[in-house]
Chain A
C-alpha cells in the first residue's frame, strides 16, 4: 500500500475540494478514485467501506475516514496547520466554520432550480460582502500579520483563500471593498504549495458544470 492518502469522490469539487486544497497546501501528494456510476457507489456501500454510506472517503494512515470536517481536522492536526494551543485551535475552528457556511451556499448553487438561481447568487454575494469578508478584513487589519491566526499559516488561511477564489468566480470584483483581503489573496496565492495547486495540471477541480450536476444525480439518486 502506498503511503499516499487516497481520495474517493466524484471528479469534481463538491465536498472533497477543501480536502484537496488542504493536502496540497500541506505539500502532501495524494491519489484519487473517481465515482462515475451508481454501481461503483453501491459497491462501496456493499463492501462496508463507507462508515455512514457517504462520500467523501479518504484513506489515510490506515483509517477509512469519512465526514469532511473530521478529515480536514485530522489533516490540519497532522501537518501542524491547527495552531499551537487550544485557544488558537478555537479561533481556527470558528473561522473555518464561518467560511464553511459560505462555501456551503456555493456548493448547493448548481443544484438550485433555474428560477431560484438568481436569488441564490444574490444571497452568496450578500453573505460574502456583509457577513464573512468583513470579519476577516477586520482580523487582518487589527493584527497586521500575514496569516489569520497566531502569525503562522494554518487551515483557516487555506479555507479562506479557497473561499475568496470560489466567490470571485461567481461575483467578480467582490474584493473591491476589502483592501486587506486583496493583499492577503496575493500573498496566499504565492505560497509555493498553493501556487503549485493553482497551476494547470494540479488536482484542483474546475467549477461545477452541467455534466458534473448530471453525474451527481446519476450516482446518488435513489
Chain B
C-alpha cells in the first residue's frame, strides 16, 4: 500500500478542502480519487470488502491503514500527526476553539451556493456580518494581544492554516473584507508565504476552485438531494 494518504470526494471544495489545505501545509503529498457520478459513490458503499464509508458519508481519507471519515476527526488526526496541534492540552484547547470558529464561518460559505436564489443576497450579507463582527475581530485581537506571528504558542498550527483558508474564502465573497483588520492583513501575507502554503496557492496545485452552479448541480445529482 502506498504511503500517501488518499482522499475520496468530489472535485469540489466542500468538506474536503480544509483537509487538502492541512495536508498541503504540512508538506504531505496526497492522492485523490474523485466521485464524479452516483455510481462512483455506490462503489464506495459497496467496496470489495463491504462498505468503505463508516457512516455512509464522505469525506473519506485512507491514511495510515485507516479509512477515516468525519472531517473534524480527520483534521485532528493530521494536525496531531504533523505537530500542528500545540505542545500541550491547553494550547490544543485554544487551537480547537479557534478552529471551531473558522469552521462555523466557512460552513456558512460552503452552504451559500446551495441556498435558493431568493435567499442568496440575505445569506451573503449574513456571512459578511458574521465575518466582520463575530469572527475576524477575535483573531485580530488574539494577534494584537500577544504580538506574535501565529495564533497559538508562537508556532504554526492548524489554527493558522484554517484561518488563512477562511480569510481567502471570505475575500472571494467580498474582496476588501479585511479592510478593518490590519493585523489579519499582515497575517495573511505571512502565512501565504510559508513555502508549503505558497506552493498550494499556485496554479496546478490540488486546491479546488470556488463552487459554481455546475458543481452544485453535480453534487445534488451524486448525493440525491
Contacts and interface: CB of A to CB of B under 8 A. Distances in A.
Given A52-B101, A70-B93, A98 B70 contact: yes
Contacts of A96: 73
- The SS class assigned to the B binding surface is helix
A65 B97 contact: yes
A71 B77 CA distance: 18
A98 B74 CA distance: 13
A73 interface: yes
Interface residues of A, number: 27
Nearest to A139: B54
Interface string B116-158: 0000000000000000001100100000000000000000000
A135 B97 contact: no
B76 A89 contact: yes
B56 interface: yes
Given A51-B138, A52-B104, A132-B55, A93 B97 contact: no
B80 A86 contact: yes
A46 interface: no
Interface of B: 54-56, 64, 66, 68-73, 76-77, 80-81, 89-90, 92-94, 96-97, 99-101, 104, 134-135, 138
Pairs A-B, 9 closest by C-beta atoms: A93-B73, A70-B96, A97-B70, A67-B100, A94-B73, A74-B93, A70-B97, A90-B77, A98-B55
Given A70-B93, A94-B68, 8 more contacts: A63-B90, A65-B93, A67-B97, A69-B72, A89-B80, A90-B73, A93-B77, A135-B54
